[in-house]
Amino acid sequence: MTVVAFDFDGTLSDSEMTVLLGDRCGVADDMAEITEASMNDEIDYAESLRKRAALLEGLPADDAQAAFDEVELREGAADLIAELNEAGVTTAILTGGFERGVATALEREGVSVDHIVSNHLPMNDAETELTGDVTGSLIEGTKDTALENLASDVGAGLDDCVAIGDGANDLPMLKVAGLAIGFEPKPAVEPHCDVVVTSMAEARDELVADGVLEER
């Protein structure tokens, strides 16, 4: 059994969910600055995520959904996921981003993955606006633990896992996976990648070279 675990923002998608949400309440620049510092491993990821969520306090539910509707998969991502699924590979998205944005993007392209591990932005009791809080297993928890748990659940070893990511919060899963693929990785991340790619086509080539997929 092979597991391929993707990061989402910056990897499967070139969108950044917190920035799209921040656009809706005029804090996109602040969001981008915090995100960049986190992805370069300059500030703790959990702290950065809480700071970004706090900036969204009071954002109306309709505006939040409109931001999630803007999240898109990058070129070739849907085809690669579909091919992995058809090949019987266990596919997963491990993201510090938000399940609603991931689900919206996947549904638009008509593809799915076997497992999504993500975070959530709670609404107030009336379900009318964001509270400014964030919940989920990938705030304090790290992606190595998430990948280890997933591999155990499906009966795979970590050597049979492929991790694909770009930012500092991907480092834990990149370090434990049998194959670590950096997708346009940040400078702090690149030294820990076995290979570096800049497109989904190149990622597919590496999966073929590793025997996960067959040559067309």
Has residue 14 been placed in a domain? yes
Q: State the CB neighbour count (10 A cutoff) for residue 43.
A: 15
Q: Which amino acid is at 118?
A: S
Q: State the CB neighbour count (10 A cutoff) for residue 61.
A: 14
The question of whether 29 is a catalytic residue gets the answer: no
Q: Which residue is catalytic, options 9, 144, 166, 170?
A: 9
Sequence-distant contacts of 58-63: CB under 8 A, at least 24 apart: 58/25, 58/129, 58/130, 58/132, 59/21, 59/24, 59/25, 59/129, 59/130, 60/128, 60/129, 61/123, 61/127, 61/128, 61/129, 61/130, 63/24, 63/25
Tens of pLDDT along 98-153? Answer: 999 999 999 999 999 999 999 999 999 999 999 999 999 999 889 999 999 999 99
Judge whether residue 45 has pLDDT over 90.
Answer: no
Judge whether residue 1 has pLDDT over 80.
Answer: no
Has residue 214 been placed in a domain? no
Has residue 186 been placed in a domain? yes
**Tokens 């993500």 -> residue:** 118
Q: State the CB neighbour count (10 A cutoff) for residue 175.
A: 13
DSSP run (H or E) holding 90: strand 90-98
Has residue 216 been placed in a domain? no
Judge whether residue 49 has pLDDT over 80.
Answer: yes
Judge whether residue 216 has pLDDT over 90.
Answer: no
- What percent of the chain shows pLDDT beyond 70? 100
Strands 135-136 and 115-120: antiparallel
* Tokens of residue 49, six digits: 């995520």
**Tokens 């949400």 -> residue:** 21
- Domain count for the chain: 1
The question of whether 30 is a catalytic residue gets the answer: no
Tens of pLDDT along 147-192? Answer: 999 999 999 999 999 999 999 999 999 999 999 999 999 999 999 9
Provide the H-helix boundaries in 57-123. 61-69, 77-86, 99-109
Residue 61 is predicted with a pLDDT of 97
Has residue 104 been placed in a domain? yes
Q: Look up the CATH number of the domain holding residue 203.
A: 3.40.50.1000
Domain that holds residue 14: 3-209
Mean pLDDT (the chain, rounded): 95
